[in-house]
Amino acid sequence: MAESLIELEQQARALPPHDRARLAEVLLESLQGPPLSDVEAAWSREIEGRIAAYDSGDLQALSAENVLAEARPNTR
């Protein structure tokens, strides 16, 4: 470990618990990927809403066979 990192660690350990917790939070956030874009966040909410509706029985599931049959043009 680089000497400056060792010194930084010692300084961090000397902080009061609340400040150490905040520092840990900031460092962990810096390791996360970029925040979801507005579109990704909207899709995430939509998915969660559909799952909740299905779980509560408010949304009926359709089989893939039925969905594909409706999507195909009638060739008879």
Calpha distance 73→76 (Å, rounded):
9
What does the pLDDT look like over 4-20, one tens digit per residue? 999 999 999 999 999 99
Query: What does residue 53 show for φ and ψ, rounded to 5 degrees?
Result: -65, -40
- Residue 74 pLDDT: 73
| Mean local confidence (pLDDT), 51-67 | 93
Indicate whether this model's pTM tops 0.85: no
